[in-house]
Amino acid sequence: DGGITQSPKYLFRKEGQNVTLSCEQNLNHDAMYWYRQDPGQGLRLIYYSQIVNDFQKGDIAEGYSVSREKKESFPLTVTSAQKNPTAFYLCASSKGSNGYTFGSGTRLTVV
Amino acid sequence: AQSVAQPEDQVNVAEGNPLTVKCTYSVSGNPYLFWYVQYPNRGLQFLLKYITGDNLVKGSYGFEAEFNKSQTSFHLKKPSALVSDSALYFCAVRAPFDRGSTLGRLYFGRGTQLTVWP
C-alpha cells in the first residue's frame, strides 16, 4: 500500500544537539511539507517543497533545515538554534488539487 | 491572504445527537476546502473535501459538510454522533491554482476538540 512514513515515532534531543526526522513517501507525490503541532496552536508550516532540489520556508523556519534530494524523501533537521523544539512534527505530501496525505508524526522531546 | 477560523475550541455532544463543528474561511477566488480528523498521537486523516459542484459534500464515517459561499462557511456535520467520533477536527482551505503562488499549500484552522459522551 502507498503511504507516507515518518520515523522515529519518538525522539529525544539533548541541549545543543541537532536531530533529523525522516519522512518518506511512495505515493509519487510532487509536494511535501513539514508542520509543527503544539497544543492549542494548530498546525504551523515549517518548510515545504514542490519539486526535487527546491524548497521554501514556511511560517516558522528558523532553527530548522531541510533537503529534497529525492522525490520520495524530505528529511527535517532540528538544529541547536531552535530554542523550543519540543513538539509533535507532522510530514505531509500532496499532488495536484488534492489535499494532503499525512504521516503518523514524530514526537520530539528535549531532555 | 488565505485563512481559516474555527470559532469553537471545544464541542461537546451526547451520543446519538447531531453534531456540528464550525468553520469559516477567507480566500481569494473559489476555495478548495477540506476537513481532517486527528486521534491522539496520530497524523491527520482526510474526511472530505469541496472543490466544486454540490454544496453538500459527503465524506468518511458518516460525516458531511455544507459549503455556503455567501457566509464563507464550511461546517462539518453528522446526524448521529458516536463516542468513537471524539477527536480533534481541523478545517483547511487552499487557494485555487495560481502560477507563482504558494501552490498546493493548505491553511489550517486551530482545531476543534470534539467530545461525544455516552
| pLDDT tens digits, A6-38 | 999 999 988 889 999 999 999 999 999 999 999
pLDDT value at position B99?
Answer: 46
CA distance readout (Å), B88 to A23, A63, B13, B41, B114:
23, 28, 14, 11, 6
- Rounded to whole angstroms, the maximal C-alpha distance in chain A is 41
Give the angle A20-B103-B27 at the CA atoms, nearest 5°.
Answer: 115
Chain A residues with CB-CB distance to B94 below 8 A: 97, 99
Residue numbers of chain B with a pLDDT score lower than 50: 99-100
Q: Cβ atoms within 10 A of the Cβ of B42, count? A: 16
Looking at the complex, report in whole angstroms how far the Cα of residue A34 sits from the nearest Cα belonging to chain B: 11
Q: How far apart are CA B76 and CA B19, in angstroms?
A: 8
pLDDT category at A40 given cuts 50, 70, 90 is confident
pLDDT the model gives residue A106: 96
Best A35, A90, A97, A101 member to test B by mutation, with max B CBs in 10 Å, is A97
Residue with cell 522515529: A8
Q: Which residues contact B97 (CB under 8 A, 6 or more apart)?
A: A97, B103
Choose among B25, B9, B10: nearest CA to B91.
B25
Which pLDDT tens digit goes with each residue over A41-93?
889 999 999 899 999 999 999 999 999 999 999 999 999 888 899 999 999 99
How far is the alpha carbon of B43 from chain A, nearest alpha carbon, in Å?
4
Closest Cβ–Cβ partner in A31, A42, A97 for B108:
A42
DSSP-assigned letter for residue A70: B
CB B69, CB B16: distance < 8 Å: no
Whether the CB-CB separation of A101 and A31 falls below 8 Å is answered with: no
Query: Which of A33, A90, A99 shows the shortest C-beta gap to B49?
Result: A99
Q: Render A38-85 in DSSP notation, one character per residue.
A: -TTS-EEEEEEEEETTEEEE-SS-TTEEE--SBTTB--EEE-TT-S--
- Alpha-carbon distance values, B1 to A78, B28, B93, B95, B107 (Å): 28, 7, 11, 9, 10
Task: Give CA–CA dist A48/B102, Å, rounded.
Answer: 9
pLDDT at A104 (0 to 100): 95
List chain A residues with CB under 8 Å of B108.
42-43
